[in-house]
């Protein structure tokens, strides 16, 4: 889900993960003391958060796709340029896109960006040389590929984005390069990311209430993870202004032993911390969970992240450094993006996708062992009926 400069982090979603450097503030941590404390049954903060988070279990805000719209517009040549296809996110999305494109009758190709911006541009240029009717970008922010996008514009080829920030999103003085961008239940890509961060905050408060003392592990180098950070901070201030939040800012270059060391240090400096929020799954599997386990505080700390991949689900199931997370369904999102492009070919307006936000934890919605999370909404028959295919 979230894409990055390299394979150390996906997306984040896959995040991974949509890269546009906005600048990050320095990390901070403060000394604190005392035992970790869970919320009491009469804690109003916990009660309000619990009522809110209950609505995000199951399918959460996910809804069925629109059942009205154009039939399949076949015969078009569509080129998908993905930030990378090796991750669970990239694989799920690419497979979903291929299945949808086949039903729509498109001449469809997939270019693997290998999580390298130079490859993203090469993919766009190949699509231009092949006279594609549309270029579909997945998890590739406009600033990274602006030169190639200028070339696509000159060639008159529309570019569509899924999980990516337009240049005008990053800098309002810049023009928009994307013909259309996938809309989520929560709104645009950034609004969806803010919703993910808010969901993390609400889940932690449902467990810890007004006694929450949280370490937020954040990477604001990415558009999407900055949105997660902003949503988390806003929700904490609104839902529990007196709760303590210590933000540890990390960089993409920190993944691995350095990341684990930085989180371990934050845990040492904040002995009373009873919660931890990490922007997305790779922060957990690339050092976060190991740091929590090594600290000996796994059973006294609630840890939330994303995004429902099998590895993270396994950590939650086995109580090994993660307790909850938000979810991601790359296939449903890909079908929705294909529908967005099909509507353009038919000369019709886009509609919001049914992709939203949901949460899972050790008590709710764990999929079968070895599997990642997927929505319970049976979206494929809806799209097939809409497109008039089988």
Domains defined for the chain, CATH in brackets:
44-60+190-327 (3.40.50.2300), 77-184+330-387 (3.40.50.2300)
Give the N- to C-terminal CA distance of the chain in Å, as an integer. 29
Return the pLDDT at 1: 59
Return the pLDDT at 388: 98
The whole-number mean pLDDT for each consecutive block of 10 residues of the chain, a chain of 390 residues, reads 41 36 35 48 92 97 97 98 85 94 98 94 98 97 96 98 94 96 95 97 98 95 90 98 97 88 98 96 92 97 93 95 94 97 97 96 93 94 96
Return the pLDDT at 28: 39
Nearby residues of 223 by Cβ (< 8 Å), 6 or more positions away: 18, 19, 20, 22, 141, 164, 165, 169, 170, 189, 190, 193
Return the pLDDT at 7: 35
Return the pLDDT at 2: 58
pTM of the model: 0.87
Return the pLDDT at 89: 78
The candidate with the shortest Cα–Cα distance to 160, out of 130, 140, 186, is 140
Return the pLDDT at 8: 34
What SS3 class is residue 337? helix
């Amino acid at each position: 889900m979230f894409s990055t400069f390299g394979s150390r982090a996906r997306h984040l979603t896959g995040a991974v993960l949509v890269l546009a450097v906005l600048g990050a503030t320095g990390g901070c941590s403060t000394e604190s003391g005392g035992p970790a404390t869970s919320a009491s049954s009469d804690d109003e903060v916990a009660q309000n958060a619990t009522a809110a988070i209950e609505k995000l279990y199951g399918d959460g805000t996910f809804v069925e796709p629109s059942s009205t719209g154009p039939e399949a517009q076949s015969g078009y040549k569509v080129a998908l340029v993905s930030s990378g296809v090796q991750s669970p996110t990239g694989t799920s999305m690419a497979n979903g896109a291929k299945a949808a494109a086949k039903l729509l009758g498109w001449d469809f190709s997939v270019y693997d960006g290998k999580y390298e911006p130079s490859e993203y541009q090469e993919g766009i240029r190949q699509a231009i040389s092949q006279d594609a009717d549309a270029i579909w970008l997945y998890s590739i922010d406009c600033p990274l590929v602006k030169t190639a996008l200028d070339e696509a514009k000159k060639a008159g080829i529309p570019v569509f984005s899924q999980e990516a920030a337009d240049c005008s999103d990053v800098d309002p003085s810049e023009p928009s390069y994307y013909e259309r961008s996938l809309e989520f239940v929560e709104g645009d890509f950034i609004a969806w990311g803010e919703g993910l961060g808010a969901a993390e905050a609400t889940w932690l408060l449902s467990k810890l209430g007004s006694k929450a003392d949280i370490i937020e592990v954040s990477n604001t180098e990415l558009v999407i993870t900055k949105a997660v950070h902003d949503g988390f901070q806003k929700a904490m201030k609104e839902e529990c202004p007196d709760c303590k939040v210590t933000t540890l800012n990390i960089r993409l270059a920190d993944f691995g032993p350095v990341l684990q060391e930085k989180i371990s240090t934050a845990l040492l400096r904040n002995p009373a911390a009873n919660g931890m929020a990490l922007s997305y799954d790779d922060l957990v599997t690339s050092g976060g969970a190991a740091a929590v386990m090594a600290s000996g505080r796994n059973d006294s700390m609630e840890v939330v992240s994303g995004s429902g991949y099998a590895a993270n689900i396994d950590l939650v199931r086995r109580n090994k450094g993660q307790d909850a997370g938000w979810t991601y369904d790359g296939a449903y999102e890909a079908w929705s993006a294909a529908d967005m492009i099909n509507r353009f070919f038919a000369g019709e307006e886009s509609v919001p996708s049914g992709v939203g936000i949901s949460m899972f934890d050790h008590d709710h919605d764990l999929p079968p062992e070895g599997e990642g999370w997927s929505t319970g909404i049976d979206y494929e028959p809806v799209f097939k009926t809409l497109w008039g295919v089988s």
